[in-house]
Structure 1
Amino acid sequence: MRVFHELTKRSGIHGNPHPVRRTRSDKARLVGKHVAGVVGRNPFLAPGSYDALVIPHPRKPGGVEIYTDRLRAELGSSALVLDSGINGTPLPGSRNLDFFTSAAGAVHSRSADGRSSTIADALEALTGVKVPIGALVAREIPKHVRLRTIYRALLRRHKIKTVYAVVAYFHQHIVGAARDLGVRVVELQHGAISPYHLGYSYPGRPVVADQPDELWCFGSYWTDVVELPAGMRTEVVGAPFIDRLTPAEAEAKDPQRVVFLSQGTIGPRLLSFALELSAARPELDVIYRLHPSEHSDDYVIPSSSRVRLSTGSAEPTLDLLASATYQVGVSTTALFEGMTLGCRTVVADLPGSEYLAPAIARGDALLAESGTELATQLTAAPLCQDSKAYYAPDALAKFL
């Protein structure tokens, strides 16, 4: 996944999907938090044993981590929650190993072996882009080994029986530690899955090291949209964080409102679609909604344009989608949420739109090549006919 991100950024296909910017003072404060966390949030110092270990998502709109919120409520005090504060604010009462995570990545191997150079050369010959695979290997492999050892000790210390993780492909040291000990690992779906997602798609279902035993999905659509690694099975647990609109709420939708759903990978190009649409259809209320990891100062909207930039928690994305008749995006999960909230859906034909190819084939979305084409096709955008396939009603309790 890291090689893929480097390749797409260096080739100019994608921007940074989740840009993180820290000043020197930010870094100094982070070091202070790490040191304080060794005493105040150290999970090794938590007393007793736990049935489960829960690894939430770092993103918490409005202070709520939606993917494990219901799970944590069901598990209660039987779960030890590990929530990093490196790229966000940890949940109250949670523990973390941030000091050890940063320390494990600070000491690199001097160099990677010759195989890294061979792979880097082959990739450059294939793509014309040079990716520093040797440096990635020199940093990430030793970090993985060190953290895997630490997490094995933690799982033993608290006699953990099940690990629940969000974004397991970025926590493979934890997954690997659990597999070493025969501890069950469940991944909770956090976003869109497609045959082009390197965290999940393994054509032919080969055996892949350090993978979860189970993937708990929002709806039936996600259970067979990719070939998962051998041995990984799926369950549909629903999505308690999505409330469908009442008939009155659906009737109250603004017929002129179009919400564009941005992402760091393609944001500036998608904004061009929004500007073109607004210029061609000035009667529309066009809102350009930033992804939570994007920065508003990266976007400049001409004073002559009526497009409005939306960011932050004061105007939640789901509330915007609930009020809109149309939504436009590329590959963000929010497009599927908007379908559930009764939006007519258009996919902009930009890098990443292939993620929505199965939904387009199902007739749940329309593909537009430009903002000008979008202006003429907008009213033809379809409504999703079976949104429960994407987000089923909450069924989590029966799996616990």
Structure 2
Amino acid sequence: MRVFHELTRRSGLHGNPHPVRRTRADQARLVGRHVAGTVTRNPFLARGPFDALVVPHPRKPGGVEIYTDRLRAALGDSALVIDSGINGTPLAGSRNLDFFTSASGAIPSRSVDARCREIADALEGLTGVKVPIGALVARELPKHTRLRALYRSLLRRRRIKTVYVVVAYFHQHIVGAARDLGIRVVELQHGAISPFHLGYSYPGRPVVADQPDELWTFGSYWSEVAELPAGMRTEVVGASFIQPLSEEQLAAKDPRRVVFLSQGTIGPLLLEYAVAVAEARPELEVIFHLHPSERSGDYPAPPSVRVSSEDILDLLASATYQVGVATTALFEGMVLGCRTGVADLPGHEYLDPAIGRGDAVLVPSPEALVTGLATLPRSSDPTAYYAPLALPL
């Protein structure tokens, strides 16, 4: 995944999907929290016993972590919650090993395997882009090994029976530690899955190291859309944070409201679609909604386009049309009754299966969107994306 992000960024195809911006003062405060956390948030010192370990998502709109909230409520005091404060605000009562997470990557390996150079050269030959494979491996491999040993010790000491994790491909040290000890690992879906997602799609279903035993998905669509690693099974558990609108709510949607769903990878190009619609159809309310990792200053939009960071679900519930590329919010908008267009920009392939189902349309240009806005489709069965909630604990 890190190689992919480097490749697309260095090629100019994508921007940074989740930019982290810190001043020197921010960094100093972060170090201070890390040091203090070795005592105040250390999971080795938490009062147990615990049956489960829960690793939630760092993003918490309105202070709520929507992917594990019902799970944590169901598990209660039997769950040890590990929630990093490195790129977000940790949940109240949670623990973390942030000091060790940061320190484990501070000393990279000094040796670069010849195979790394061979892979980097081969990748450059295929793409014309030079990616520092050796530097990535020198930093990430020792970090993984150190953290894996640390979490193995934690899981053993706390006698954890099940690990629940969000975004498992960025927590492979935790997954690997659990697999070393024969502990069940469950991943909770956090976003869009497609045949092109490097975290989930393994054509032919080969055996892949350090993968969860189970993937709990929002709906049946996600359980079928990609070939998961061998041995990983899926369970549809629904979603607590979204449900279809009633007939009255659908009728109350604003027929003038068009929402464009930005992402850091393609935001500037998507803005061109929004501006084209706003200029050609001044009677419409055109809103350019920012991804949580973006800021309004990133986009010098004209007055005819309103740049917004308001609650995305409330916004989509009020809108008639939505346009995006590969964001999970497009599927949320389908559940909330939006007519859906997919801009023909890098990454639109993520929506190919949904387009094939007739729930969205690929829009080849801003001009085509202007003329075809009224014909954008509405999903006929959004429960395939987000089913009613059911947790198989």
| Matching residue of 1:118 | 118
| Match among 302, 305, 308 for residue 307 of structure 1 | 305
Question: Do residues 351 (structure 1) and 335 (structure 2) align?
Answer: no
Q: Distance in 1 between matches of 2:285 and 2:111?
A: 54
Whether the 8 Å contact between 1:49 and 1:157 is mirrored in structure 2 is no
Alpha-carbon offset, residue 111 of structure 1: 2.7
Q: Distance in 2 between matches of 1:316 and 1:295?
A: 14
| Matching residue of 2:376 | 381
Aligned residues: 393
Alpha-carbon offset, residue 48 of structure 1: 2.7
Q: Distance in 1 between matches of 2:374 and 2:218?
A: 29
Q: Distance in 2 between matches of 1:329 and 1:102?
A: 35
Q: Distance in 2 between matches of 1:238 and 1:22?
A: 36
Question: Do residues 85 (structure 1) and 85 (structure 2) align?
Answer: yes
TM-score normalized by structure 1?
0.98
Alpha-carbon offset, residue 280 of structure 1: 1.0
Q: Distance in 2 between matches of 1:112 and 1:21?
A: 29
Question: Do residues 363 (structure 1) and 358 (structure 2) align?
Answer: yes
Whether the 8 Å contact between 2:41 and 2:94 is mirrored in structure 1 is yes
| Matching residue of 1:18 | 18
RMSD of aligned residue pairs (Cα, Å): 0.6
Q: After superposition, what is the alpha-carbon deviation per residue over 1:173-220, rounded to whole angstroms, capped at 9, x for unaligned?
A: 000000000000000000000000000000000000000000000000
| Matching residue of 2:68 | 68
Alpha-carbon offset, residue 372 of structure 1: 1.2
Q: Give secondary structure in 1 for the equivalent of 2:53.
A: strand
Q: Distance in 2 between matches of 1:84 and 1:202?
A: 28
| Matching residue of 2:59 | 59
Quick one: which amino acid aligns to residue 188 of structure 1? L
Quick one: which amino acid aligns to residue 308 of structure 1? R
Q: Distance in 1 between matches of 2:51 and 2:264?
A: 38
Question: Do residues 164 (structure 1) and 164 (structure 2) align?
Answer: yes
Q: Give secondary structure in 1 for the equivalent of 2:90.
A: coil
Quick one: which amino acid aligns to residue 240 of structure 2? P
Question: Do residues 287 (structure 1) and 287 (structure 2) align?
Answer: yes
Pairing 1:313-332 to 2, within 5 Å after superposition: 315-332=310-327
Whether the 8 Å contact between 2:324 and 2:343 is mirrored in structure 1 is yes
Q: After superposition, what is the alpha-carbon deviation per residue over 1:279-302, rounded to whole angstroms, capped at 9, x for unaligned?
A: 111111000000011122111013
Q: After superposition, what is the alpha-carbon deviation per residue over 1:277-331, rounded to whole angstroms, capped at 9, x for unaligned?
A: 11111111000000011122111013xx4110001xxx20000000000000000
Q: Distance in 2 between matches of 1:345 and 1:48?
A: 48
Query: Where does the alignment leave 5 or more consecutive residues of structure 1 unmatched?
Result: none
| Matching residue of 2:143 | 143
Q: Which moved more, 1:79-88 or 1:109-118?
A: 109-118
Pairing 1:214-225 to 2, within 5 Å after superposition: 214-225=214-225
| Matching residue of 1:181 | 181
Whether the 8 Å contact between 2:44 and 2:154 is mirrored in structure 1 is yes
Q: Distance in 2 between matches of 1:64 and 1:353?
A: 29
Quick one: which amino acid aligns to residue 351 of structure 1? P
Question: Do residues 342 (structure 1) and 342 (structure 2) align?
Answer: no
Quick one: which amino acid aligns to residue 260 of structure 2? F
Whether the 8 Å contact between 2:324 and 2:330 is mirrored in structure 1 is yes
Q: Which runs of 4+ in 1 moved over 3 A?
A: none
Quick one: which amino acid aligns to residue 185 of structure 1? V
Whether the 8 Å contact between 1:286 and 1:306 is mirrored in structure 2 is yes
Quick one: which amino acid aligns to residue 43 of structure 1? P
Q: Give secondary structure in 1 for the equivalent of 2:163.
A: strand
TM-score normalized by structure 2?
0.99
Q: Distance in 2 between matches of 1:284 and 1:296?
A: 21
Whether the 8 Å contact between 1:346 and 1:381 is mirrored in structure 2 is yes
Q: Give secondary structure in 1 for the equivalent of 2:105.
A: helix
| Matching residue of 1:245 | 245
Alpha-carbon offset, residue 248 of structure 1: 1.6
Q: Distance in 2 between matches of 1:94 and 1:267?
A: 34
Q: Distance in 1 between matches of 2:247 and 2:224?
A: 31
| Matching residue of 1:131 | 131
Q: After superposition, what is the alpha-carbon deviation per residue over 1:25-65, rounded to whole angstroms, capped at 9, x for unaligned?
A: 11000000000100100000012321100000000000000
Query: Where does the alignment leave 5 or more consecutive residues of structure 2 unmatched?
Result: none
Question: Do residues 272 (structure 1) and 267 (structure 2) align?
Answer: no
Q: Give secondary structure in 2 for the equivalent of 1:106.
A: coil
Q: Distance in 2 between matches of 1:211 and 1:296?
A: 37
Q: Distance in 1 between matches of 2:240 and 2:26?
A: 35
Whether the 8 Å contact between 1:187 and 1:216 is mirrored in structure 2 is yes
Q: After superposition, what is the alpha-carbon deviation per residue over 1:118-171, rounded to whole angstroms, capped at 9, x for unaligned?
A: 000000000000000000000000000000000000001110000000000000
Q: Distance in 2 between matches of 1:296 and 1:116?
A: 39
Q: Give identity over the alignment, percent.
A: 76
Whether the 8 Å contact between 2:243 and 2:386 is mirrored in structure 1 is no
Q: Give secondary structure in 1 for the equivalent of 2:257.
A: strand
Q: Distance in 2 between matches of 1:123 and 1:169?
A: 22
Whether the 8 Å contact between 1:111 and 1:135 is mirrored in structure 2 is no
Alpha-carbon offset, residue 224 of structure 1: 1.1
Q: Distance in 2 between matches of 1:280 and 1:111?
A: 58
